Amino acid sequence: MKKSLLQISLLLPLIFIFSSCFELIEDTTFNKDGSGVYKVTLNMSSSQTRLNSVMAMDSIDGKKVPSEKDLQNEIESFIADLNSQEGIKNAKASLSTEEWILKFSCTFDDLEALKNGLNLSTKKWQKKDQKIGDYFEVNFSNAGYERIINTEVSDRWKTKASEDEDYNKLKEGKCVFIQRFPNQISSVSNVNVKIAKNGTACMLMLSPHEIIQNPKSLNYSVSLEE
């Protein structure tokens, strides 16, 4: 996906160019009124040696390698801007360059506020006037939750990614998407989405390789009991 939650985490170039194996956990908790808590944890500790080696360089493949200070400044700027957006509160993030773990969280009044806030706060990193919703949609109501992917990964991008010597290690990574609801789940549309024992949460887990090959594997809907 050209734009995704990974880019929201501000480290997309590092992940796909410098790192081959990582774990992304997106965890969203919904309240009955549509407000909630959004969390993202990006763990690249398994690629620590490679990332540290790259960070010691000035550039790679013609791209400037950001310093640790650059990364911290970008994150602080992003968080400050996001906290100024309507409907977003308590945004915070931390990046450990010793373990290469990034943690982000915020509260939101509704999903629209979350999407709008992220769109505005990531705008300066976008080369075109495109929004998060141009690539995927997420919706929540008392009836349930829905995630729809509106993009495909181009064959050119797949070819370029596959040329990396560690490309196959993307099969070892994990992308986990968790939703927690105020009501019981009655059904899910994707057989790969697992419902928790308490019946109020669900999880989809895929490898980065699976997502690159088939972004539509992220599509699913969750129906809730009234």
- Backbone φ, ψ for residue 205 (5° rounding): -125, 125
Q: Which residues are CB-contacts of 188 (< 8 A; sequence separation ≥ 6)? A: 195, 202, 220, 221, 222, 223
For 40, the domain range is: 5-224
Nearest to 209 by CA among 176, 164, 179, 170: 170
What pTM, to 2 d.p., does this model score? Answer: 0.84
Give me the pLDDT at residue 215, please.
Answer: 84
Determine the pLDDT at residue 109. Answer: 97
In angstroms, the Cα distances linking 24 to 40, 92, 189, 196 are 7, 17, 22, 19
pLDDT of residue 129: 58
Number of domains forming the structure of the chain: 1
For 157, list phi and psi in degrees, rounded to 5. Answer: -65, -40
132 contacts: CB under 8 Å, gap ≥ 6: 3, 8, 115, 118, 119, 122
Question: What averages of pLDDT result for each successive group of 10 residues across the chain (226 residues)?
Answer: 36 48 90 96 80 72 75 88 95 88 94 89 64 72 90 72 70 91 97 97 92 88 94
CA distance 170 to 120: 30
CA distance 131 to 125: 11
What pLDDT does residue 199 have?
Answer: 97
pLDDT for the residue 40 = 93
At 10, list the tokens.
Answer: 């501000």
Please tell me the predicted confidence (pLDDT) of residue 220. 96
- Are the beta carbons of 204 and 195 closer than 8 angstroms? no
For the chain, give the number of residues: 226
Name the strand (E) or helix (H) holding 220: strand 220-224
Provide the 3-class DSSP secondary structure of residue 30: strand
Q: Note whether 32 and 142 are within 8 A (CB).
A: yes
**Which residues sit opposite 156 in a β-bridge?**
none
pLDDT at 212: 80
Task: Give pLDDT, residue 176.
Answer: 95
